[in-house]
Structure 1
Amino acid sequence: MKRILSILNDKWPEYILEILVITIGILGAFALNNWNENSKNRSLVEDYYCRFLADIKQDEIQLNILQEESGLRLIKSNELLRELLLDTPEKEKSIELMLQATSKISYQFTPISAGYNDLKSSGNLNTFTDQTIVDQVGTYLQEAEGLANNISTNGRIGLDEMFEIDDFHAIGFIDNTFLKEGLDTTIIRKELLDRNPLTPLQLKELRHVASLLIAVNYRNNLHYSSILAKIKDLTPLLENKCYLSQN
């Protein structure tokens, strides 16, 4: 025992130094591991911000095209009603305008949610320190999907009303581009097609459809503007986060 105590008395500074080295090494390893984990988490979070931004940018491009098409349908809807309110509206022009006013009217816009869905399914949600932006992305997707459904529903209503027309042959569809180009004149005699003027009842029916198309296309234009406004609000927040991750 005395020998042990003598050795400890002589070498205690060495032992303490060795203990300190071991302790510092262990703590350093833990600190390095934590730093690596935090660094990985930061990189993961920053990558998601950039993915969110890329998704809404793609939505914005598509929405601008869809809104432009919707605006054109609105113009054609008004031109159709103007034509039908004339004393002697032209059948051919009226039908062409109606087809233009309903072109792609029921298209279903779907916001891109690849990044957000991946985040939810991966279990990485708890890595975000700024939960507010994640919630805003989720809110945007939810509201955009709701408005997109309304747009598609409104479009189907417009199409349904158009296809409720009693007599496409008599009302002037024989003069629309699609029928003309699809008509097989080797078996169909064009001179036998209905060329009678529109009757008061047919005019009433077409004016009803034109009026509905104006309302539907205008309403859908507002929905597109609403979704684009949400993207405009969200974009700078994501751009800031994504920019910081790239620098």
Structure 2
Amino acid sequence: MKIFRKIRFELLGDNKTRKYILYAIGEIVLVVIGILIALQINNWNQVRKDDNALKDYLVKIKSHTLEDMRKLEKISKGRAEIAEVCKKARTSILDKTEDENLILFMASGYAFADYFFKPNTGGYEALKNSEYFGKINNTPLDSLLANYHDLLVVIAENEKSYNDFMVHQEAYLSTQFDLSLIFAYAFVSPDSLKTRATSQSEYDEAFRRYTGSAPYRNVISLAAFQFDSMIDQYSKLGAVGQSVVNQIDVLITND
């Protein structure tokens, strides 16, 4: 600045007005260029900060999606095992061989378990509520995430439909049967039951009537085919989830 000031004084002192004006214009241009460079550097820094912030959200979404996929694998396996037992029980009902397969009907009681898939949507919801969500608008990842969360809604509705029906049937059964006998038959060892005043035949008859009731059969029959639908939806969600993970890896790698 001292050098520029000295040049200005010399030009003014020598009455070189035209040169001074050209010099002044040149100085203004330099200042403007300096400002533009500073703004560009600031923009680059801000873009870098925004990209890093978005990356943090994407890493969290990837982690949650992988967690979901592990849950899907576990719940799919569990429902498949129950569905297989319920299908055999349904066949036994149609063949009128229930009395020969009481153990099978005992195992089919797992159809009354009201467990369901619990996704972790924290990372996605955090991104949606942030200022960085717009950075993935109209991208393949945006479409995949929308598809993923649409499938979550469908799965939740399907599970709720089954669980509500099952709970309603179970509530009715609890008013019609002495569940202490049913639970004892199902969970207490035969040796222990022999020491009780209640005879084995009473336990057998109570359990036979319980599993032969319409509400019980309704639940295992519904599970026999609706679980297949659930498993198919879990599989579709898992496939989309893997695509989400792959797309996030691409974006992170490109950054």
What TM-score do the two structures reach when normalised by structure 1? 0.75
CA separation of 1:87 and 1:99: change in aligned 2, threshold 3 A = closer
Which of 207, 224, 240 is the aligned partner of 1:233? 240
Map of 2:172 onto structure 1: 164
Matched position secondary structure for 1:209: helix
Cα distance, 1:151 vs structure 2: 1.1
Map of 1:49 onto structure 2: 58
**In 2, are the aligned partners of 1:76 and 1:98 still within 8 Å (CA)?**
yes
Q: How far apart are the structure 1 equivalents of 2:27 and 2:54?
A: 40
Give runs of aligned pairs for residues 8-27 of structure 1, distance below 5 A.
8-12=17-21, 14-27=23-36
Q: How far apart are the structure 2 equivalents of 1:159 and 1:79?
A: 22
Cα distance, 1:115 vs structure 2: 1.4
Cα distance, 1:92 vs structure 2: 4.8
Q: Can you give the 5+ residue segments of structure 2 that lack an aligned partner in the other structure?
A: 1-10
CA separation of 1:149 and 1:217: change in aligned 2, threshold 3 A = farther
Q: How far apart are the structure 1 equivalents of 2:88 and 2:121?
A: 38
Matched position secondary structure for 2:199: helix
Q: Can you give the 5+ residue segments of structure 1 that lack an aligned partner in the other structure?
A: none
Map of 1:219 onto structure 2: 226
Map of 1:144 onto structure 2: 152
**In 2, are the aligned partners of 1:49 and 1:241 still within 8 Å (CA)?**
yes
Map of 1:209 onto structure 2: 216
Q: How far apart are the structure 1 equivalents of 2:166 and 2:205?
A: 24
Q: CA RMSD in A?
A: 3.7
Give runs of aligned pairs for residues 76-155 of structure 1, distance below 5 A.
76-84=85-93, 85-87=95-97, 89-90=99-100, 92-102=102-112, 104=113, 106-130=114-138, 133-155=141-163
Cα distance, 1:210 vs structure 2: 3.2
Matched position secondary structure for 1:122: coil
Q: Deviations over 1:139-160 (max 9, x none)?
A: 4224313322321330342343
What TM-score do the two structures reach when normalised by structure 2? 0.73
More deviation, 168-177/39-48: 168-177
Which of 58, 64, 71 is the aligned partner of 2:80? 71
Matched position secondary structure for 1:6: coil
More deviation, 225-234/20-29: 225-234
Structure 2 letter corresponding to 1:6 = N
Matched position secondary structure for 1:176: helix
Q: Deviations over 1:44-74 (max 9, x none)?
A: 3333333333222221110111111101111
Structure 1 letter corresponding to 2:46 = E
Matched position secondary structure for 2:85: helix
Percentage of identical aligned residues: 14
Matched position secondary structure for 1:138: helix
Is 2:255 aligned against 1:245?
Answer: no
Give runs of aligned pairs for residues 184-203 of structure 1, distance below 5 A.
188-191=196-199, 194-195=202-203, 197=205
Q: How far apart are the structure 2 equivalents of 1:90 and 1:44?
A: 63
Q: How far apart are the structure 2 equivalents of 1:16 and 1:169?
A: 96
Map of 2:186 onto structure 1: 176
**In 1, are the aligned partners of 2:166 and 2:219 still within 8 Å (CA)?**
yes
Cα distance, 1:131 vs structure 2: 5.0
Matched position secondary structure for 2:118: coil
CA separation of 1:121 and 1:240: change in aligned 2, threshold 3 A = closer
CA separation of 1:51 and 1:196: change in aligned 2, threshold 3 A = closer
CA separation of 1:126 and 1:81: change in aligned 2, threshold 3 A = closer
Map of 1:60 onto structure 2: 69
